[in-house]
A and B are shown apart, each in its own frame.
Chain A
């Protein structure tokens, strides 16, 4: 059974700093990995999806990488802003025949002005 872990559970950084959020998974046979952002009391916003054949995806100040062999993905946020404060969740999708995303518990990011 796939397990997804995100460490740390919370992170506080000063505005302008570059930062990395970590996601690890136990089963390397993933189909894709998706990163989400969740603001308090809100639904999830899809940020990036990396397919298993890809090593990274970029969107604006965000860059997500995937290393299947080590069971790790990272989300890099450049030049952090207070508006980036939210909980970031990663989720793995385990195959074309599977309909389930397995989520980590998230990293709560606070960017201090």
Chain B
């Protein structure tokens, strides 16, 4: 079965410090990968998505960046954190388009989320 891991679970960082959050997926190959942020009182905001190694698309211009060095690894980074970067960061995966429905028993493009990382910037 597929599982998704995120670490760390919680992080407290000073303003101006760097950031690295990691997400890994097990039990699937070549998934779509996503980074979302959930801020207090706001809905989930898509930050980045990736359809393959080294392929990153940004949805929101900001001081964050993402990388996908391996097929099932997705990293969210920042060189200098801002107070506004505080929030709950969620990684998600989905089967890539084109896979036959039922290959894994999953419905095409259903997204599955990790446990999240709570980031507080002070």
Contact = CB atoms under 8 A, between A and B. Distances in A.
Contact of A105 (B32, B43, B90, B114): B43
A103 B44 contact: yes
B46 to A, nearest CB: 5
Contacts of B43: 4, 89, 103-106
Interface in B70-122: 88, 90, 92, 97, 107-116, 118
Interface of A: 4, 31-32, 34, 36, 41-46, 49, 51, 89, 91, 93, 96, 99-101, 103-106
18 contacts: A32-B110, A34-B111, A41-B88, A43-B6, A43-B113, A43-B115, A44-B90, A45-B113, A46-B110, A46-B111, A51-B107, A89-B43, A89-B44, A91-B44, A93-B109, A100-B49, A101-B46, A105-B43
Interface of B: 6, 32, 34, 42-44, 46, 49, 51, 57, 59, 88, 90, 92, 97, 107-116, 118
